[in-house]
A = this chain, B = another copy of it.
Amino acid sequence: MLNVKQMKSLFKATFIFFFLIILSANKIFAQDLNKIHKVVMQLNSADTSAWSGVIGNIRNFQKIWPGKVEIEVVVHGKALNFLVASKSHLSADIEIMTKKGIVFNACENTMNKYGIKKDMLINSAGSVPSGVAELVLKQEEGWSYLKTGF
């Protein structure tokens, strides 16, 4: 039989235990409560009107959710030149957007395939080992996914 003192300890332990559960649960709910929208955009088209479309989409997001949207553009396959300094017609826009926190990442698999080195990319562009894997990782972290192009 437990005495009242033991019971009180048991109560305390129970509370601490469930408090930890609730903390974890909050982590789940955070997604809904958090005002920061997170979007990962896939760009793999050679069509330069799709490239301009990405810039337009980003402006659109920034207009409707100023300061409340995190955007990563994953560039791979036939779209790689979008981030190649000597090939992209959108370097200036990309540099400005990067300063405002937009992330542009080239796929290193694609870079290897086309012989593009990191120093050939637009200065502010980053890279990821695999573009498609990055798109999956972001979705796994709860980011919304947008396929660009038409």
A124 within 8 A of B: no
B2, B31, B39, B109: the one contacting A8 at CB < 8 Å is B2
Binds B, one of A42-50, A84-92, A97-105, A115-123: A42-50
Contact yes or no, A64 B21, CB < 8 A: no
Q: Are B150 and A144 in contact (CB under 8 A)?
A: no
Contacts of A7 in B (CB 8 A): 2, 4, 7
Residues of A in contact with B (beta carbons under 8 Å apart): 1-2, 4-5, 7-8, 10-11, 14-15, 18, 21-22, 24-25, 28-29, 31-32, 37, 39, 42, 44-47, 50, 53, 57, 60-61, 63-65, 77-78, 109, 129-133, 135-137, 139-140, 144-147, 149-150
